[in-house]
Structure 1
Amino acid sequence: MCVKALLACLQRFPNKEQVYSCMAVIGRNHAVQVQAIMRSLLGINLIFHTRETSIEDQEYVGRLVMVLNAAPIQPSLVFFMPEFVHRHYRLLRNSYPDIVREIRVLDEEKEIGKTAMDEYSMEKAEEVVMSTYRRLCNVPSTALHSDRNIKRDDIFRDTSAISLYNSTVSGAARLIFCLGEVSSTVNSVSETVLRGGEIINMKQLIAQSIDDMKSVEHQFSRISLEIHTYLVYCRVLLRLAWI
């Protein structure tokens, strides 16, 4: 309701920057909630390519400002953004430097891509993918929640680079990316429950994750029994948390 009211203000008041500033504050202060609704805010589809929205669309810019200000607190948001959002970030960063905060991951994006290309020229793509998958499997054994998030963010970054620079294994990289997202949601929900937090704040994230798991099963053919079992386990766990 708050976001809708602010977006409505864009049509009523000439000073857009004040509205954008409010959206930015919401993004910074409620990054977890923004993460849960990012796809609906930006119209992102897991299966189909997302159509680029015009940067002249003021409501889109308002929603994007909120997402971009949540990204420094929830870095994994960056890896779910379409490529055009990365370009829009740089434009808005130059236009509104006091409103759109620096996102380190995006600012380092070109260097990451260069490193990825160098690595793939030295190693077989399949080995890189398998190594990344094993890293994801080992994430749950990490003791601290914050360290698990850091490791997953590294995996999100690497799988994004693999998908971008090596088409032969891009499907496998996207699968690992999706599994990492599921793992992240399950971990966040578990931490919330264990710490006695309000699960109601996670309900939209849970619903989105359950839909994502269905998409994974339909989008990727011939997934292994191990992965299928893991997805069923995660779905049951999230449904139990929902109750």
Structure 2
Amino acid sequence: MTSKLFDISGKTIVISGSSRGLGKALAGCFGSLGAQIVISSHEVDELRETKQEFEALGYDVVAVPADVRREQDIQNLVGDTVAHFGKIDVMICNAGTDIIKPAETYEIDEWEHVLSINVRGYYLCAKAAAQRMLPQRRGSIVMTSSIASSLGVPGLTPYAVSKGGANQLVKTMAVEWADRNVRVNAVAPGYINNFMKGVHIDLDTPYQRRAMAHTPMGRRGELSEYFGPYVFLASDAASFVTGEILYVDGGYHAA
């Protein structure tokens, strides 16, 4: 019995923002565990290459290009998933972006860019998935949050606001949909040894030294260290878990 608790084989799992980084790593993990995976990105060439990589590994994978800011793209993403696999079991709302700079220097278009992807995108993905999951009375939605969702981190104003918004999406949707067995949770990473496209990091700066000084484990998390939390929330092992923000941050949130 316990050996099947974390079994996700045969589950259909959609991951937004999965042509690179954490999303790609999660898709690879789910595929290696026997899940049917649907990867998605607005970067079409990169998405095609990722699909080819996964197919070479023998994973059951479909790739659907989508911009998470566009509702029709997300409706197509979920619709194509159901058309191909006949169902959707898990939606991982992961596509995100960031612009790091002092709070007083953001242009309004930079602010709107971050929030449109990180909040609007999450809502559209969760909404489209829930429209399929609620009638079948089962499903799991997992959002990628951040330690910045609940703690002050210099240089991350719109990003922090967007991740705080994601946390509130989790809690509100979880309460609304709990009676129909659709669970909504989030994983909140700390500092990962991986960087978003367009974010240039110098690890020897006061900002980065501060980050490591505030992480009790004293290092960045590796991508593989996030597999367990996402698999848990996607699996039946978390069947009574909803509305939770699971911090995976080397102790940063506790310090």
TM over 0.5: no
Larger Rg: 1
**Greater share of helix:** 1
**Greater share of strand:** 2
> Smaller-chain TM-score range?
0.3 to 0.5
TM-score (norm 1): 0.34
